């Protein structure tokens, strides 16, 4: 296979999967990993991809913090569909934790009015969305207010979480990377989310397909620490296969 043919194969695979691995390309192309890295460097210099450690993506995977009022205007249909599917996992008398973010806000708005729940959350907009539901007992975490996410973070919120044991966590993230794991753009929120995962039996990630292959500044957890991902059908078969290999149930809406 010529260099041009290798480059075409790499770009075609990247277009289809949204991600390529140096090790997998080495096996598939029957060349050394050194050769693959050189190919990726050439393609990156041409602006055709973005290299990360051991892999490459179509564009920079790094995401920046954006206000919740801005984020709620993008991928609206996918978020609503994901939220409705997540609501089907609720049972009467569940004690759950809801994280912060626009997708879990849509989830809180999709919770049926006739289901009895105890809900812990640090997201003030989630609390407001559930305030009028008489069947839900709300526990609002306290702490430092993060205005961009309409949520609280910090030591006090983490200490409160340690005092509870819940059945399920419904969590939004800013990035899902096959190697680095789950991330968000704020390190204090990442640490709080980590404590939430430790306090539940099952962690359910609500994330549209645009979040895959992305990384935020703060690492929340490894992919092996989660149980279910609910996303839309824009997610590539490559990602679905890799997630299922890690024992994660992938639910498409």
pLDDT at position 67:
72
Domain 68-252 fold is Rossmann fold (3.40.50)
pLDDT of 180-227, one tens digit each? 999 999 999 999 999 999 999 999 999 999 999 899 999 999 999 999
Average pLDDT, the chain: 93
Strands (E), the chain: 20-21, 50-52, 55-57, 94-98, 117-121, 136-140, 144-146, 151-153, 166-171, 175-177, 181-184, 200-206, 218-221, 228-231, 249-252
pTM for the structure as a whole: 0.81
Report residue 116: phi and psi, to 5°. -90, 125
Q: What is the pLDDT of residues 121-169, one digit of tens each?
A: 999 999 999 999 999 999 999 999 998 889 999 999 999 999 999 999 9
How large a percentage of the chain has pLDDT more than 70?
97
First to last CA, the chain: 39
pLDDT average, residue stretch 222-242 = 95
Q: Are 224 and 197 in contact (CB under 8 A)?
A: no
Asked, colleague to colleague, whether 3-57 and 68-252 share their fold, the answer is no
Contact by Cβ (8 Å): 79, 102: yes
The answer to whether residue 41 scores a pLDDT higher than 90 is yes
Which pLDDT value is given to residue 68?
Answer: 66
Per-residue model confidence as pLDDT tens digits over 64-115 = 776 766 666 578 999 999 999 999 999 999 999 999 999 999 999 999 999 9
Q: What is the pLDDT of residue 52?
A: 81
SS3 sequence of 20-58? EEHHHHHHHHCCCHHHHHHHHHHHHHCCCCEEECCEEEC
Tell me the pLDDT band of 16, cut-offs 50, 70 and 90. Answer: confident
In angstroms, the CA 81 to CA 85 distance is 6
C-alpha distances (whole Å) from 64 to each of 80, 185, 194, 227 are 23, 6, 20, 26
Mean pLDDT score, 219-244: 95
Residue 1 has pLDDT above 90, yes or no: no
Q: Parse the chain into domains and list their residue ranges.
A: 3-57, 68-252
pLDDT confidence of residue 69: 64
> Which pLDDT belongs to residue 201?
97
Query: Could you tell me which of 209, 212, 207 has the C-alpha nearest to residue 193?
Result: 207
Q: Which two tokens stand for residue 180?
A: 């680095």
pLDDT-derived band of residue 57, with 50, 70 and 90 as boundaries? confident
Pick the CATH number of 3-57 from 1.20.120.530, 3.40.50.2300, 1.10.10.10, 3.40.50.300: 1.10.10.10
């Amino acid at each position: 296979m010529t260099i041009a043919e290798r480059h075409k194969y790499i770009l075609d695979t990247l277009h289809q999967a949204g991600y390529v691995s140096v090790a997998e390309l080495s096996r598939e192309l029957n060349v050394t990993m050194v050769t693959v890295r050189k190919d990726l460097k050439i393609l990156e210099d041409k602006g055709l991809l973005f290299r990360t450690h051991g892999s490459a993506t179509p564009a920079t995977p790094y995401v920046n913090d954006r206000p919740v009022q801005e984020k709620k205007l993008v991928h609206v249909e996918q978020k609503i569909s994901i939220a409705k599917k997540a609501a089907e996992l609720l049972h009467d008398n569940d004690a759950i934790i809801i994280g912060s973010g626009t997708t879990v806000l849509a989830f809180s708005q999709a919770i049926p009015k006739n289901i009895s729940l105890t809900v812990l959350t640090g997201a003030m907009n989630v609390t407001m969305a559930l305030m009028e539901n008489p069947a839900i007992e709300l526990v609002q975490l306290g702490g430092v207010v993060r205005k961009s996410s309409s949520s609280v973070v910090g030591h006090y919120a983490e200490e409160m979480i340690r005092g509870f044991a819940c059945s399920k966590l419904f969590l939004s993230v800013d990035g899902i990377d096959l190697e680095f794991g789950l991330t968000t753009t704020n390190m204090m929120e990442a640490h709080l989310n980590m404590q939430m995962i430790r306090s539940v039996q099952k962690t359910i990630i609500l994330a549209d397909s645009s979040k895959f292959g992305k990384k935020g500044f703060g690492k929340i957890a490894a992919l092996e620490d989660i149980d279910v991902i609910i996303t839309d059908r824009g997610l590539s078969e490559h990602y679905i296969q890799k997630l299922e290999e890690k024992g994660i149930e992938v639910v498409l809406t």
